[in-house]
Amino acid sequence: MAMRQFKAESKKLLDLMINSIYTNKEIFLRELISNASDACDKRYFKSLTDASIDIKKEDLQIHLSVDKDSRTLTLSDNGIGMTKDELEKNLGTIAKSGSQDFKAENQNENIDIIGQFGVGFYSAFMVASKVTVVSRAQGSDEAWQWESKGVEGYTLTPADKETVGTDITLVIKEDAENEDYSHFLEEYTLSDLVKKYSDYIRYPITMYREKSRQKPKPEDAGDDYKPEYETYTELETLNSMVPIWKRDKKDVKPEEYNEFYKNKFMDYTDPLRVITSRTEG
């Protein structure tokens, strides 16, 4: 299993990514979900002209799962998937945006490396010590695994996957002196991040969540009976899938408008005023 090397410019950029040139680490989830949504789009649109693709739009989804013991976060989609060549092309070389050249010596901490260079997938390395991608492309009977621990390179090997789509598994880094990575393994953190950055994604983003409920009161319980509770897991859809501008004005709370403004325009203060208009035609 030979180690494949990243292209030189990719290696420099990945090195800076791993060493936290970008300070807002939580956006890694937004980037991975956006990629998964794009893959679902591609499979759906292909199905419109290819009768052999038997999938409905409502069957497409993105799923998150966490294993705290192994410190893994897995994001799965049943989108178009990738062939071996596509894995190599898409994940072996970092895309450039337009004609901009990346200058590795520019290490200003505020640089928006994600937005400028189209490197969303690589933002995973800001929080993960190892990234494994298993993908099976639409129309293919074989699956492939891409795996990397960072700048030393990546491996590409045959894999087993029963369904079309992509699974991305992140081994979350151990906590450091000034970095709490473990909170990316918490259900409530992931749910909040989906609400914050990916609420309008058109496909359901699901996750099993642990919940608590009161047990039924026994018929022979006395007056001193104290309610008992049990935990259970339930599959929950984390996103609304409805953009704020498509919802009725009366159904949107002021704080939702405020959060939408602050998240989309990177401002720390609430908007001075919100104006809602609806145009027909």
Give the model confidence (pLDDT) of 119-132 as tens digits. 678 889 999 999 99
> Which CATH fold topology does 8-209 show?
Heat Shock Protein 90 (3.30.565)
**Alpha carbon distance 11, 32 (integer Å):** 20
**Alpha carbon distance 126, 26 (integer Å):** 9
pLDDT recorded at residue 20? 58
Q: What angle do CA 33, 76, 181 make, to 5 degrees?
A: 65
Residue 98: which pLDDT band, with cuts at 50, 70 and 90?
very low
Asked if pLDDT for residue 254 goes beyond 90, the answer is: no
Question: Residue 73: what are its φ and ψ, rounded to 5°?
Answer: -120, 125
Could you tell me which residue, 55 or 272, shows the higher pLDDT? 55
Q: Decide if 172 contacts 184 (C-beta within 8 A).
A: yes
Residue 268: which pLDDT band, with cuts at 50, 70 and 90?
low
Q: Name the average pLDDT for the chain.
A: 83
pLDDT recorded at residue 65? 98
pLDDT recorded at residue 103? 40
Segment among 89-103, 180-194, 229-243, 260-274 with least mean pLDDT: 89-103
pLDDT recorded at residue 129? 95
Q: Report the pLDDT averaged over residues 107-129.
A: 66
Place of tokens 């704020």: 244
pLDDT recorded at residue 220? 85
pLDDT recorded at residue 195? 92
pLDDT recorded at residue 234? 95
pLDDT recorded at residue 134? 98
pLDDT recorded at residue 130? 96
Asked if pLDDT for residue 228 goes beyond 50, the answer is: yes
Could you tell me which residue, 23 or 149, shows the higher pLDDT? 149
Q: Decide if 112 contacts 141 (C-beta within 8 A).
A: no
